[in-house]
Amino acid sequence: MIVRETQTPAYWQELAVDDRDLDYLYGLFLEDDNRPRTSDDLTLALMRSRCEREEALLKRELAKGTPFQPKESYEVGEQVVFPALGYALGSVVGVRPGCNPKYGDFEVIQVRFEGEEETKEFASKLGYPHKLNRGEEELLEGEGLLAPIELYDQYGSDVQRELLERLQLSGDFVSFRGEWLLKGLLAEVHEGHLNIAEAMLDVKGMSLPAQELLRELDLPTEIAPAAQVFSLNYALVQDERFDDVGNDDQSLWFLRRLEPPEIVYLPPRLHYTPEPYDRASLGGELLRWEMEIDDEMKELAVPSEEDVREPQTSESPSSRSGRGSVEPSNEEISSATIVLNYPHRRVGTIPLTSKTESLFPKGHTERMMIALIDGRTGEQMPGWVVPQHKYVYGLKGWYEKYDIPVGAYIKLERTGDPLTIVVDYLPCRKKREWIRVATVAEGRLAFAMQMRAIACEYDELMVLGEDDPAEIGSLWMRAEEDGKPISEVMCEVFPELAKLNPQGTVHVKTLYSAINMGKRCPPGPILAGLAKMACFLAVGDGYWIYDQEAL
């Protein structure tokens, strides 16, 4: 059997895509369906073409003459192909008797190869077994050869990288979302078509796929439907009026001018400026509280020393304390319940955390438009997933409608449509409760216990109210402008919370919730501050006291 170059790793790892490869792919697109093809499809097709090209070359080379086999006899003037010498073609110019008692009677043929003056001699008519005694069919047999799909599995990533670079340099191919089409096969999508698409999106007020928009565009019917969809998608992505807000499974189009600014720019109240902290100071209990709080900015906190692996916990959620395990983000779940913190309540967002992110669609676009369903009424609300900044926007009006407090339990539930999520609170009989209420006094956050009417379940450790949101907003803005460190904020807020408890204790979750009214901060730096600063003393079960003298 002949060793094929295409069966070796070096062949594919060092492959240079040439014009012949592009011509082959060009022809592939001109087949009857004229459909777009993925990068994977094109890579596999190229590798299959290279294997077929090598097989055809082998057959052509062997067809030029008689394949050399030591057992056969040859005549002067006969053309002989030598597979072991790279399919070199030679002409027999002489035959003489062989002389070696070990092999018995045989002949020696003298062969002159093209472009060479000297002849070379080879044994022939040899009765002794020899590994070169293989006919054409045996030489071409494919036993043990890897099929193109198997070669693709092993070397496809190397080939695809090279292929995509070459396709991008070529002016004949265009791409959209990992699919490719010949530029000449694009349907003409002119300004009038795009204006109609804009009007449709304006009237609908919701995102639409290209298939829906095509119904009003009247593109030529002789162009294949798949090519029409690709052509419109390609035209829309070139026009700044349109934004692809779909997920990984489908492109959905919306108008940029209709998008709320909170999804284009990170809302200031959600912005976190990382502060270095000593993560090694967090023991098992503090890490457990950090995991339970489950802040979406947790991984943006900057540790100043070697990180500590977070332990797993198997606790189940309780109805009021909120203490519970955090589902891994890669585990597909049907629902999740979170505790609403102040920044998200104020902006009207839901955090994408290890508890919630698996419920929402995955995508590589800057934002994805989804439908949020009011679990109380079934009303549909437009929602926006912003993966880069790890939040979902669209609940500001819903929070205000039901007067949802900071610390409330919010339940999210998956539906049969990956772009539709049910959002609900846990209702209870409305009654007046004593909760911590924030005010501003002497340029700082102050807290007092006040009666407030609440009609939903909440985490008693994190629930908060406020008297004047605008005043607290101004305080937050001043803190941002001054760049006040988290340690200073902790020393201001902790005593205010401690005075509300006869024992002077403050729970870590309460401290986190209160600090985030005046400064956005994940739990890591706060917990590290508790562990490192001498003025804070642990008294157990997540509670701490403040020692002014130690400070």
pLDDT band of 4, cuts 50, 70, 90? confident
In 10 A of CB 76, how many CB atoms? 11
Helices (H) and strands (E) in the chain, counts: 16, 25
pLDDT of residue 308: 41
Rounded to 5 degrees, φ, ψ at 254 are -145, 170
In 10 A of CB 7, how many CB atoms? 15
- The percent of residues above 90 in pLDDT, for the chain, comes to 67
Tokens of 162: 């090279």
Q: What is the mean pLDDT of residues 95-105?
A: 76
Q: Is the pLDDT of residue 135 over 90?
A: no
What residues contact 366, with CB distance under 8 A and at least 6 apart? 243, 386, 388
- Strand pairing report for 536-540 and 543-546: antiparallel
pLDDT of residue 323: 36
0.85 cut: is pTM over it? Answer: no
Least confident of 13-22, 52-61, 343-352, 381-390: 52-61
Q: Is the pLDDT of residue 141 over 70?
A: no
pLDDT of residue 134: 60
Tell me how many degrees the CA angle 320-321-322 measures, rounded to the nearest 5: 95
pLDDT of residue 131: 59
Q: Residue 67 in 3-state DSSP?
A: strand
Domains of the chain, by residue range, sit at 5-62+143-172, 70-133, 186-258, 295-428, 432-546
The correct CATH number of 295-428 out of 2.40.330.10, 3.20.20.190, 2.70.150.10, 2.70.98.10 is: 2.40.330.10
For residue 412, what is the enclosing H or E element? strand 409-414
pLDDT of residue 311: 37
Q: What is the mean pLDDT of residues 517-545?
A: 94
Q: Is the pLDDT of residue 321 over 60?
A: no
pLDDT band of 132, cuts 50, 70, 90? low
Q: Is the pLDDT of residue 196 over 80?
A: yes
CA 492 to chain centre: 41
Is 186-258's fold the same as 295-428's?
no
Q: Which residue has the tokens 């070697």?
A: 306
Q: What DSSP character marks residue 187? A: P
Q: Is the pLDDT of residue 404 over 50?
A: yes
CA nearest to 29, candidates 40, 43, 16, 42: 42
Tokens of 219: 């593109």
Q: What is the mean pLDDT of residues 30-53?
A: 91
pLDDT band of 139, cuts 50, 70, 90? low
Q: What is the mean pLDDT of residues 441-470?
A: 94
- Strand pairing report for 420-425 and 427-441: unpaired
Q: Which residue has the tokens 């539930």?
A: 413
Which string of DSSP letters, residue by residue, matches 147-159? PHHHHHHHHHHHH
Q: Is the pLDDT of residue 541 over 90?
A: yes
Q: Is the pLDDT of residue 58 over 90?
A: no
pLDDT of residue 369: 96
**CATH fold label, 186-258:** Arc Repressor Mutant, subunit A (1.10.10)
Q: Is the pLDDT of residue 458 over 60?
A: yes
CA 70 to chain centre: 59
CA 498 to chain centre: 44
User: Is the pLDDT higher at 64 or at 473?
Assistant: 473
d(CA 356, CA 135): 66
Least confident of 319-328, 333-342, 406-415: 319-328
